[in-house]
Amino acid sequence: MSKSKVTYFTLIILTIITGLLSRHFRPIPLFIGDILWATMVYFIMRFLFTSNPVKFSLIAALLFSFAIEFSQLYKALWINNLRHTLFGRLVLGEGFLWSDLVCYTVGIAIGVLIDILLKAQLSTVPEF
């Protein structure tokens, strides 16, 4: 596995852990989990499409996140049953909220910022 894939995989795991922990501390607002979920989606896109530009991953993450949110308007029995499982709740969510779209946009922007900062820092590190 390439160095960049390892970096993105590590960021995915750290974001998942942070997101799950955020649900266990009452003072942390629930929307933080939505922001972290979108950040994780961005890092997954970077992991899958490492050779593509950041812009590609940004757009792919936004499209995926928005599609998941809009899919919550679909209320068939089979998908509602899936949404009542832990996996379904974590990945698909339970109910459509316009505010989640804002959270996803913020989360993906945070992912892009982290990505840019990491690349800038890595490029200034001298080679040994």
**In sequence order, what are the residues at sequence separation of 6 or more whose Cβ sits closer than 8 angstroms to the Cβ of residue 101?**
65, 66, 69
Q: Where residue 120 falls among pLDDT bands split at 50, 70, 90? A: confident
pLDDT at 126 over 60: no
Contact 104, 65 (CB under 8 A): yes
Instruction: Encode pLDDT of 12-68 as tens digits.
Output: 999 999 998 988 888 889 899 999 999 999 999 999 999 999 999 999 999 999 999
Residues in the chain: 128
